[in-house]
Structure 1
Amino acid sequence: MDVQQSLSSLSQARTGKRKRVSSYDRSGGNKDYYSIKPGDKVEICHIKGAGAITHIWMTMAPDAPVEEAFLPRKIVLRMYWDNEKEPSVEAPIGDFFGMGHGMTRNYTSVALMMSPEDGKAFNSFFRMPYAIDARIEIESEADLPIKFYFYIDYEEYGELPDNELRFHAQWNRENPTDGSSEDGMDNAYFEFGGKNTTGEGNYVILDAAGKGHYIGCNFNVHNLRDTREWNWYGEGDDMIFIDGEPWPPTLHGTGMEDYFNTAWCPQQEICTPYHGIILGGGPNWSGKISAYRYHILDPIMFDKSIKVTIEHGHNNHRSDDVSSTAYWYQQEPHRPFAPLPKVEKRLPVEDIKPFNPDSLAKIFGHSNP
């Protein structure tokens, strides 16, 4: 529902009751957070009956006078609907709220937001319905105890309409992606040569079975190629295969930046309601990049299955650190998720030192590629 539709419907009568679960101090004091120790799994809410979560706010910090590196990758968020044993949502908490690399940054979209201070206030406005119950769990693989604050705002109903699908989110990472050797290959061919006529080997954002609709992803790249040559990471096409269709799929795109609704190898950072670049990367597209595309007004429907993929470089030539969180709605049961990697397999890798921008002028004829 777009902003204008939401404003125009605000005066209409609504059913249900507005409720909240939060971390407030039950004693009436000011310890308005949960203390979570390394290794803890904590159920922060268990809502019984029919309803829908409509807003989540969370923030966290080490329970010590130090900052812990990559904390948003070390804390895992899980959600369960209707007595299910396997989660429908499982992702590192920072990635779930829209940005990878174990980082936070102020940004705003229509569905997810990181708000001041320094993007450490996480917000979700995705609707998350349930007929029997809803459970949310936090697992810490941090090095230090944390203070964890939250609001879970929801609507309580007498019963849930039959046409409500369940919300899902899943994290994925390939580090590095399975690229090609550059031996004997010049840079022009590495960046632009060869043909992909199957989609095999593409990076997989989502592989789901059932009936539902895909509503988008956030997507993170760490450029691992150390070169003074043209080093654009995003020449890969998006390919979305619906209900087992063969290549070329109905939804075949023209390039990574095109899928994210930008153009011409962008680095400028921008946040719009449905797409954006939160982190643009360094000189010659070095370092870390983070982007999002949310199909709020244009969900991608599937009846039996969906496989959302994108090339890692044209013809899957590149070997970068790529991660993503996919969001979708579907009927249950959903395909069980692969086990989430332990924290040591989730942490970002060290940055390759970017080149001095002045030296790049000799390559590109100006100081910014």
Structure 2
Amino acid sequence: MKPYCMISNAKTFAFSAENPTGARAGGSKGGDCTKLSPTVAIRAGETVTLVDTDGPGMIQSIWFTGYVGHSFVIRMYWDNCEYPSVEAPISAFFGTAYDENFVDRDGKYAVLNSAQILVAPGRGLNCYWEMPFKKHCRITMENRGEKDQSLYYIITGCHCEVPDEIGYFHASYRQEHPVQKGRSYTIIDGIQGKGQFVGVTLATGMNGNNTCWVEGEARMYIDDDKYPSIHYTGTEDYFCGSYGFGNDVQIKSYQTYSGLYSGMYAIYGDNRAFYNGQQRFLLYRFHIADPIHFETGFRMTLDNMGWTGPRYDDYTSCAYWYQTLPSAPLKPLPSDKEMIMK
């Protein structure tokens, strides 16, 4: 039986601008057809708390819109840990790191339509990763930009019993603009603890002639592996595609796709010349059906290669995993200006 059809003692909560404490009956007192507090203003340099609640419980869904660029950094703290288990600009966290690009190659809003993340037209950012906690949950948003911005949000979950063996949700941001030529790009490293890797979102920006940028191989190192235990044959293969996402075969053009657990869902830039367009690509792969289990640690790398050898493209990613606490501190973020992606 699925949880939604089983009667339980769980108590639903929802934090929003209209109910910032998430309390029962804590929403707007304005009555029908009123908007008293639809959004929260976050001043430049300010951090606001979106969720602060005791456990046990679970975050079940997150929705954001308004300003959804890289200057907003989301952080999540589990069970009163002093440093976050999640730290990423919200654009990359939701798989849309090219946040200054709204219209894709085909003149449409790009739609990421997966089981874990939905990016809906107009930049409605949705997340359905389950995030259990035992003692406490705190979620914050920092505005690292130079302008005041507004955020619309609702974060739902429930207070409920959680098993002792739960893993805590983690997410970490990485970028190289550009990738060091001849060296693999690090999706994630530094993980310490027991758990499972569950996915990554990736944004790539081509520099120079394309030369089949997807020749790079994905490698996963479990625990103390000297050599990878999981080794894919190419970038498009890891993201469940093939033959240059269609550019190598009949149509001779990249084709977007968005499935439950994987996709190359957006292309920015309208140059369709065979392998020569300096385009931008948005990809994701979620290991829900096939989580990668580790006992003490995990590391993943991805080559940046074309037919002519190593490349120097811009790579940006956010990795997702569950693990025991305490976890190692996440790698510090680049500065806000270093994150700008055109």
TM bin (shorter chain): 0.7 to 0.9
Contact preservation (8 Å) 1:36, 1:147:
yes
Whether 1:292 and 2:284 are equivalent positions in the alignment is yes
The alignment status of 1:139 with 2:142, answered yes or no, reads yes
1:127 to 2:130 alignment: yes
| Alignment partner of 2:162 out of 149, 154, 160 | 160
Q: Percent identity?
A: 30
List per-residue Cα deviations over 1:179-218 (Å, max 9, x = no partner). Answer: 05xxxxxxxxxxxxxxxxxxxx321111112100000001
Matches of 1:239 and 1:218 in 2, distance apart? 16
Q: Secondary structure at the match of 1:94?
A: helix
Give secondary structure in 2 for the equivalent of 1:83. coil
Q: Which moved more, 1:94-103 or 1:297-306?
A: 94-103
Q: State the match for 1:174 in structure 2.
A: 176
* Structure 1: distance between partners of 2:331 and 2:230: 26
State the secondary structure of the residue aligned to 1:297.
coil
Distance 1:37 1:297 in 2: 41
The structure richer in helix per residue is 1
What amino acid maps onto 1:280 in structure 2? I
Mapping 1:22-61, distance limit 5 Å:
22-24=16-18, 26=28, 28=30, 30=35, 31-61=37-67
Counterpart CA distance in 1 for 2:137 and 2:5 is: 29
- The structure with the larger Rg is 1
How many angstroms apart in 1 are the aligned matches of 2:204 and 2:165?
36
| 1:134 to partner: Cα distance | 0.6
SS state at 1:280 partner: strand
Q: What's the secondary structure of 1:72's corresponding residue?
A: coil
Deviations 1:298-337 (A, max 9, x none): 1000001110111111697111110100000000111111
Aligned residues: 307
RMSD between aligned residues: 1.9
TM-score relative to the length of structure 1: 0.79
Deviates most, 20-29 or 325-334: 20-29
Residue 330 of structure 1 corresponds to which residue in structure 2? 323
Q: Secondary structure at the match of 2:91?
A: helix
* Contact 1:58/1:123, CA 8 A, preserved across alignment: yes
Q: Secondary structure at the match of 2:38?
A: coil
Q: Which amino acid aligns with 1:164?
A: I
Output the amino acid matched with 1:262: G
Aligned to 2:238: 259
Any unmatched runs of 5+ in structure 1? Answer: 62-70, 181-200, 350-369
Deviation per CA, 1:343-369, whole angstroms, max 9, x where unpaired? 1110014xxxxxxxxxxxxxxxxxxxx
Cα deviation for residue 81 of structure 1 reads: 0.6
Which stretch has the larger CA shift, 35-44 or 16-25? 16-25
Q: Is the 8 A contact 1:179 1:316 kept in 2?
A: no
Q: Which amino acid aligns with 1:212?
A: G
SS class of match (1:257): helix
Match of 2:69 in 1: 72
Alpha-carbon distance between aligned partners in 1 of 2:145 and 2:42, rounded to the nearest angstrom: 10
CA contact (8 A) 1:178 1:316 kept: no
Q: What letter corresponds to residue 217 of structure 1 in structure 2?
A: V
1:194 maps to none
